[in-house]
Chain A
Amino acid sequence: MKKLRLVLVLFLVVSLLTACGGTSTDTGSTTVAKTITIATDLDLQSMDQQVATDGISFSMQDLVLSGLCTLSDAGVAEPELASSWDVSADGMTYTFHLVDAKWSNGDAVTANDFVFGWRHLVDPKLASEYAFIMDTIHVVNAGDCAAGTKALDQLGVEATDDKTFVVHLTQPCDFLLSLMAFPSFFPVNEKFFEAQGDQYALSVDNLLFNGPYTMTSWTAGSEYVFTKNPNYFNADSVKTEEIVFKYVSDTQSAMLSYENGDVDYVKLTGELVDAYKGKDGYTQRLAGYLWYMSVNFTNSKFVQGGNLVKAISCGIDRDTIATSVLKDGSIAAKGIVPTGFATGPDGKDYRDTTDAFVTYDPAQAASYYKAAVADNGGKDYSIELLFEDTEASKAVAEQIQSMLQTNCPGLTITLNSKPKKTRLDMMQHQQYELGLTRWGPDYADPETYMDLFRTTAVDNNNGRYNNPEYDKLVNAADVNANSTERWQQYKDAEKILVQDDCGVIPVYQSGGAIMINPKVTGIRFHSAGVDSYRFMVKSAS
């Protein structure tokens, strides 16, 4: 009995000691907290900005690297390493003037670092999944360099001196500046890169930093620590000493840690959204991801602008899906271009100046469906809906199934759930009927969405939608230097695609529910591009 008591006492002492060591929060002498901890439900995939493809990797790179610009809260490009820039009268040459900045090894950041970084992105040897983005901003020879048909030194970029970086385009690009805050366009120090060989960017020792933070610890699958970079050219503006990202795929335990004060930021999912809605710290954001149903027009069931696709489009109550099923700040789609995403030449949001091209009308859906059945010789339709096996997609697909079967009596919707990569593969090979899918935009311009459904866009136009009138409008808009005209061309094209042809059936624009410690401010959420945590501050009191 005495021994048992001794063991119990020892256990308690050890527990108390460990507990004391584990939960202390260092507030320092200043008024801001030293550390901010973010729980992320997605893991870091790569710290190489020209290899990464996912949002969380880009956000971590944004902490340690700076590009020519950063994005303001509203998503407007602001000077960063480029203190200023000149645009030629024809809009096809951009000249960036660089500030005095240093890499973490003491080297100066030069225009050549940008030239090397940009060439590296399109290098066929690297085979970057984001090489396409160089062509998106129409840099001279971008496509040819990426395909390996032209040498890398033919890419339309040059360093006229150490502090001047010049970009040559084949056509004007309205959104080029906002993409200068996108990590794929960040510089690379050639000397350091060559010295690391195939180990480049695979550990903290093989990384070089020029941004507000340096990466000081990298525990794959678990924890990533970023510490303030004293060599950052604007170091005085950085208030938080340390930022920690913790990969936690279980939201419930992440929230328990949040409640304990160990974590400051948790993305909510499922029932937790309901549980925390309205509480202090509950934050909703609107993302630029637009979820839509792709219709496979290579299947003879579907005809562009036909009764069946119109019945489907009218038969979905998008508001109910957003507010009663998803409940996380998602909103009903009004077209294929998201809300609060792109600002037009008039300074207004694209969607504020464009009609809603989809409506919920059950009576109309029923009559379209009746007509479709008549076209089909009186036979009812059975349609398969393909979606990915995530909680949200499943809930949305089930809701669509129930709505369509109710609103179009006689219609059968069967559900087919697959992992994301499999769903994409099936859609890319036209092995589907209706496919619930999405597009995540990298830049805030309608072009990113409108380009997807051109006849020539075989990589993304999975349903093989084909309307020459649409193609003509979008192709003309893409190269139109007159922004007002260009904007109108996209609006006209969107009406043809969504309203007239029901070539795609937009469903909802995804939102996100997050619990953020009320003491933390300064996180910049962007509907296009990268969420930025570099300006984050947590008050100590």
Chain B
Amino acid sequence: MTRYVTKRVLIGLATLFVILFVLFLMLRFMPGTPFNDEKLTAAQRALLYAKYGLDKPFLVQFWNYFTSMLRGDFGLSYVINKNFAVSSMVWTRLAVSIRIGFQAMLLGSVIGLLLGIWSALKRNTWVDTLCSGISVFGVSVPSYVFALLLAYFIGYKLKLFPILWSTKNVAASTVLPTISLSLFPVANIARFTRSELIDVMNSDYVLLASSKGIKTWQLIWRHELRNALIPIITVMGPLLVDLLTGSMVVEKIFGIPGIGSLMVQAIQYNDYNVVLATAFVYSAMYIFTMMIVDILYGVIDPRIRVAKEG
């Protein structure tokens, strides 16, 4: 088991290193530079290049970046927040995205599960049709359209929650973005829960349990849902990473200082260090999740480990 985990971790780290190198290479080949303004003279540009070490050979630049990164120093921002430490910029923004992502996931899971259970129980009735309708709506309507609808009806018409992010009222500012982002998990989880639950409900052991006279809610909670949850949790993993890394469009609509909008800004402005750091964080989060999934598979089903190692 230790060997298996060590191997997974090493592969994860190597992948991250390759991603970092390729990103670094791609950025340097991208046309334009961070210091590219109508008013900047060639001499002044040369000074700026020297100041930030961009005049050094590519491999030296990469090595300097990589070694400082290991110390937690992701360099300085050249454009977006001039001379700010990128690590603190990314961290502050990531915290906001993670908060909204978690809230959305929590809300989405609870409502999704409830809708799924309800429609499985009331199969082929109007309830089921309604829940399927909500699922189809949630999967097909992009979150930004839903975000605009929420901003208009709940923010503007009903004036229940602020539309724009406000540092004086952060909790209330997160309500509308949380609801907008939760729509997709609601739809997905409801759909999965319904189909998994129907499968389980038709199985022999459930029929046996129910014929023994166990109460309906106990049956659902103790026997049906527990078994149906396993595949649902598999779906929730990638959904969570998606939500945590922020949604650039929803962030734009509600003026949220999250990491999604930061990455888009960074690419537009050629702010090298910010592009690198945000892309690195994205990759790291994905790789970390995959690694956990891989390791969990190994724990749950030792055959996977044996087969791969064999």
Residues on A facing B (Cβ under 8 Å): 15-16, 18-19, 21-23, 39, 43-46, 48, 51-53, 124-125, 127-132, 146-148, 198, 202, 217, 219-223, 225, 246-250, 252-254, 256-257, 259-260, 262-263, 418-422, 424-426, 428, 437-440, 458-460
Contact = CB atoms under 8 A, between A and B. Distances in A.
Contacts of A253: 148, 151, 163-164, 253-255
Given A15-B161, A220-B257, A256 B37 contact: no
A437 B39 CA distance: 13
A439 B156 contact: no
B71 to A, nearest CB: 16
Nearest to A130: B39
B156 A256 contact: yes
Interface residues of B, number: 59
B31 A18 contact: no
Nearest to B48: A127
Q: Which 7 A-B pairs give the minimum distances between C-beta atoms?
A: A221-B257, A421-B32, A222-B257, A127-B47, A46-B82, A248-B255, A425-B32
Contacts of A425: 31-33, 36
B190 interface: no
B141 interface: no
19 contacts: A22-B172, A45-B82, A125-B51, A127-B44, A127-B48, A128-B44, A132-B41, A220-B81, A220-B257, A221-B262, A225-B167, A253-B164, A257-B155, A262-B163, A262-B164, A418-B31, A419-B268, A422-B30, A425-B32
B171 interface: yes
A421 B175 CA distance: 36
B172 A248 contact: no
A222 B39 contact: no
B82 A52 contact: yes
Contacts of A147: 43
A16 B160 CA distance: 7
Interface in B39-55: 39-44, 47-48, 50-51
Contacts of B256: 222
B80 interface: yes
A257 B163 contact: yes
B237 to A, nearest CB: 28
A24 to B, nearest CB: 11
A18 B171 contact: yes
B56 interface: no
Contacts of B164: 39, 246, 248, 253-254, 257, 262-263
B261 interface: yes
Contacts of A420: 268
Interface string B147-165: 0100110011001111111
A46 B83 CA distance: 8
A219 B257 contact: yes
B166 interface: yes
B35 interface: yes
Contacts of A458: 42
Contacts of A129: 35, 37, 39-40, 44, 48
B84 interface: yes
Contacts of A426: 31
A19 B159 contact: yes
B124 to A, nearest CB: 23
Contacts of B30: 422
A225 B33 CA distance: 32
A19 B161 contact: yes
Contacts of B254: 253
B172 A260 contact: no
B188 interface: no
Nearest to B49: A127
B131 to A, nearest CB: 16
Given A19-B159, A459-B40, 8 more contacts: A18-B169, A46-B83, A51-B82, A220-B257, A221-B262, A260-B159, A260-B163, A422-B30
A437 B38 contact: yes
A424 B36 contact: yes
A257 B258 CA distance: 20
Which of A263, A421, A460: most chain B Cβ within 10 A? A421
A150 to B, nearest CB: 14
Contacts of A43: 80, 265
**Which of B30, B82, B256 has its CB near the most chain A CB atoms (within 10 A)?**
B82
B31 A250 contact: no
Contact of B32 (A131, A223, A419): A419
A260 B156 contact: yes
A259 B89 CA distance: 32
B269 interface: yes
Nearest to A15: B160
A250 B43 contact: no
A166 to B, nearest CB: 26
Contact of B162 (A23, A52, A460): A23
Contacts of B165: 222-223, 246
A253 B92 CA distance: 23
Contacts of B47: 124, 127, 148
B110 to A, nearest CB: 11
Interface string B78-121: 01111110000100110000000000000000000000000000
Given A15-B160, A249-B261, A419-B268, A459 B42 contact: yes
Given A127-B47, A127-B51, A421-B36, A250 B252 contact: yes
Interface string B237-261: 0000000000000001111111001
A45 B79 contact: yes
A53 B80 CA distance: 11
B178 interface: no
A259 B169 contact: no
A16 B172 CA distance: 11
A54 B248 CA distance: 23
